[in-house]
Structure 1
């Protein structure tokens, strides 16, 4: 990826979003203007929000949470991407995201198990009393991965929910006082508290993102 081109595209997209233009419409303009490929488009789409929305997400971030609801594959796949040396980004809302897609590959089981240990270590930093692990039923071996994490985590109460309605379940848990460990904008918009699990994992792994969109857009993340 061309990092300089991505940074310029991010600045232009932020400018237009801050002036009220619809994301989908202006994104097409930005993609054409900078000739972004599919992965570059995905990076800008996932990582650049209006100043108001980015600030709102940042305001919700907490490093202490008594109750955490983990969007398992949303977080796990990002950690696997990091460990494989693939591109990942620190977004303008201080959450780390990747651009690789939503499923594990067939040869990644061993790496995924190691990534679960990193997730467990990152969760333990918050010292939660309650943990809910929510996993997509449609993904192969989802229950197995969820239960592996359940056994790794030291917590008074750990529940696993393998469901076809991950977003709805996580939003419901947020209404019950859980902090969401997810980077899915649909979920975090509806939650009052966000536990930045992928960002913490980045620090545990001592890795640097390909691009720090927050700094590019003039609002560095103090926690990152």
Structure 2
């Protein structure tokens, strides 16, 4: 309970600083150090808390499955698959205050293909079949071990499903995703440059195509952190207030 209260206050302080224009990296580091947050909670602040302005920009770009049909789709391969794996294996995921679902494992550089990977690929391709994009390209960072083999497997599955597209192991995935009508990624830099964003892991939750995960929710008007074992359906208890008192505002502004 004490740790969760500390995290709630940390998120509230970070929201205040971001909304008042403080540099993101400095604000995250300051708040994380001030509250002595453990690694996973620091990662949550860095990946899942956005200013009202930025959160609003992200939300305006989000599309549902029907918004993908007939359009060119670029998929951030590892970004999407790792989050789907988290859902399939019951790991904690976070519904961030920009409306995007993210995982906190931070395993990208150490990622290893395993049984859960194949299940995640199957779930991905089945969803793509339902979405019906005009063309889909899935990009994997070639610096990760066995990216070539994984890309080949996804390519074969796309072909078997009758989907027009490709799967490639490349350098600079972020750059490759530019120019698509819709991109599937939770990466902040990718979302910033995208015209439209499809949150594939969250779509899987909506369709109940994966086991019920543990969900932590961060809201923009305050903080509502909860874990539950039911599929996310956009409901839950109302947000608990995380407003920052005037005294705390003065302390925050003077210390950073």
Q: TM tier, shorter chain?
A: 0.7 to 0.9
User: In the alignment, which residue of structure 1 is the partner of 2:169?
Assistant: 162
CA deviation after TM superposition for structure 1 residue 149, in Å = 2.4
Larger Rg: 2
**Taking structure 1 as reference, are residues 217 and 152 closer, same or farther at Cα in structure 2, changes over 3 Å only?**
farther
**1:188-215 residue CA offsets vs partner (Å, 9 max, x unmatched):** 1001110111211333315344311137
Map 1:36-47 → 2, pairs under 5 A: 36-47=37-48
> Scaled by the length of structure 1, what TM-score is found?
0.86
**1:130-151 residue CA offsets vs partner (Å, 9 max, x unmatched):** 1011111111111222232233
In 2: Cα distance, 1:103 partner to 1:210 partner: 24
Q: Structure 1 residues 64-73 or 149-158, which shifts more?
A: 149-158
CA deviation after TM superposition for structure 1 residue 216, in Å = 6.7
Map 1:54-73 → 2, pairs under 5 A: 54-63=55-64, 64-65=67-68, 66-73=71-78
User: In the alignment, which residue of structure 2 is the partner of 1:196?
Assistant: 199
- Which of 212, 215, 218 aligns to 2:217? It is 212
**Would the aligned equivalents of 1:90 and 1:211 in 2 still touch at CA under 8 Å?**
yes
In 1: Cα distance, 2:86 partner to 2:163 partner: 30
**Runs of at least 5 residues in structure 1 that lack an aligned partner in the other structure:** none
**Runs of at least 5 residues in structure 2 that lack an aligned partner in the other structure:** 225-231, 235-256
Structure 1: which 4+ aligned runs deviate by more than 6 Å?
none
CA deviation after TM superposition for structure 1 residue 86, in Å = 2.2
In 1: Cα distance, 2:86 partner to 2:130 partner: 22
User: In the alignment, which residue of structure 2 is the partner of 1:23?
Assistant: 24
CA deviation after TM superposition for structure 1 residue 217, in Å = 3.2
CA deviation after TM superposition for structure 1 residue 84, in Å = 2.5
Q: Structure 1 residues 24-33 or 39-48, which shifts more?
A: 24-33
**1:113-165 residue CA offsets vs partner (Å, 9 max, x unmatched):** 01111112333342212101111111111122223223334354112221111
**Would the aligned equivalents of 2:109 and 2:144 in 1 still touch at CA under 8 Å?**
yes
Aligned length: 217
> Scaled by the length of structure 2, what TM-score is found?
0.76
User: In the alignment, which residue of structure 2 is the partner of 1:183?
Assistant: 186
Measured on the aligned residues, the alpha-carbon RMSD in Å equals: 2.4
CA deviation after TM superposition for structure 1 residue 218, in Å = 6.9
CA deviation after TM superposition for structure 1 residue 53, in Å = 0.6
